[in-house]
Amino acid sequence: MSRFDAAMEKFNFRKAVVVCLIVSVLAGTGSAGFLAHTFRDRLALADGYRRVSKDVGAAEGGLESMEPGWKRLAASSPDLVDILVLDGENRVVFSAKHSDLSQSGSLNLSEDRGGQNRYLTAGENPDVHFRLTEGGGLQVFRQLLGVDEETGRENRDHYFYEKNYSRQKIYLLSCFAGGPDGTKVYFIGDLRPAAGGRLSVKAAAALAVLLFMVYWVLLALWVYARALRAKMNAPVWGIAALFTNLAGWFVFLLYRQSRRTCCRCGALQSGDGAYCTYCGARLGAVCPRCHRPVNGWDRYCGHCGCALNRGKKDE
């Protein structure tokens, strides 16, 4: 027996699986906490956005009753540029943060030249551009977190962006409420990536991949060790499980289930032999006269007709 096989026989897979599970749960919890900490400002902002856009539909005292809440949200988040309320003439009637955007007193947004892009420019602030977010809260949520692949790709690779705005300020803009008189409420956020965000997402993903690989290899080793114990072709079963994982493990279990196992040496036995082909142990009840296998409930041997004494069948 090779040293690898000897190690496999001794290895405690049950303990390894339990340890692997505990480490996975701890790592998952730790990663989630770490990511939540890294993106805490963004999560708070996204949650704030969700709340204000939900409250605005249910507000009974009109938009004015929402303003203290907007001010609190704006003060608490460094990533929130401003919440602006514009009247029908695009005059700024409320600014939660008194940002530069509100200084000129109005905000006239127009679509950038180029047609197909989703960027808007304000005539008052030609250096600032707005990326319009549509599709409700979820889209805004993803973009505020700044981890959205699509947003990143669009911002990096978008030819129009590269050509026109790579050195200019881009804000995220969402119009989350409007009135019949042309009133609009604009929610304006900064698209800065969270500090260390990309690195922490990569670290968490790497940890998850590592743990998944450990699980994958562990399952293949487990099948290998079990096949080894059953005197089967362990390398073939182990490699099959390494390539097919759960499917290979399942086929292994089915295969083992369909055969008999020697209770002395553990070898898997095919056919209907009465004795283990590996160690010679008797596999079950046999006829005392012809020594062929019989079922435990048979009263007479099916091969030679000998009467079977139930009490003595295992003599």
Q: Which residues bind Zn ion (CB under 5 A)?
A: 262, 264-265, 267, 276, 278-279, 281, 287, 289-290, 301, 303-304, 306
Nearest approach, Cβ of residue 230 and Zn ion (Å): 10
**Residues in the chain, how many?**
315
Nearest approach, Cβ of residue 268 and Zn ion (Å): 10
Structure tokens at 254: 């089915």
Query: For residues 73 and 47, is the Cβ–Cβ distance under 8 A?
Result: no
Rg (Cα) of the chain, in Å, rounded?
35
Could you give the CA distance from residue 108 to residue 182 in angstroms, rounded to a whole number?
A: 13
- Compare residues 72 and 289 and give the one whose CB is closer to Zn ion: 289
- Compare residues 220 and 294 and give the one whose CB is closer to Zn ion: 294
Nearest approach, Cβ of residue 271 and Zn ion (Å): 14
- For 265, other C-beta atoms within 10 Å of its C-beta total 14
User: In Å, how far from its chain's centre is CA 17?
Assistant: 20
- Compare residues 91 and 259 and give the one whose CB is closer to Zn ion: 259
User: In angstroms, what CA-CA distances link 171 with 165, 168, 276?
Assistant: 11, 10, 76
Nearest approach, Cβ of residue 225 and Zn ion (Å): 18
Report the DSSP beta bridge partners of residue 40. none
Nearest approach, Cβ of residue 237 and Zn ion (Å): 19
DSSP 8-state symbol, 187: E
- Compare residues 203 and 306 and give the one whose CB is closer to Zn ion: 306
Nearest approach, Cβ of residue 267 and Zn ion (Å): 5
- Compare residues 194 and 287 and give the one whose CB is closer to Zn ion: 287
Report the DSSP beta bridge partners of residue 130. 120, 171
Distant-in-sequence, close-in-space partners of 187: CB < 8 Å, separation ≥ 6: 49, 52, 53, 80, 83, 140, 173, 174, 175, 176
- Compare residues 6 and 281 and give the one whose CB is closer to Zn ion: 281
Could you give the CA distance from residue 48 to residue 42 in angstroms, rounded to a whole number?
A: 9
Nearest approach, Cβ of residue 244 and Zn ion (Å): 29
- Compare residues 52 and 308 and give the one whose CB is closer to Zn ion: 308
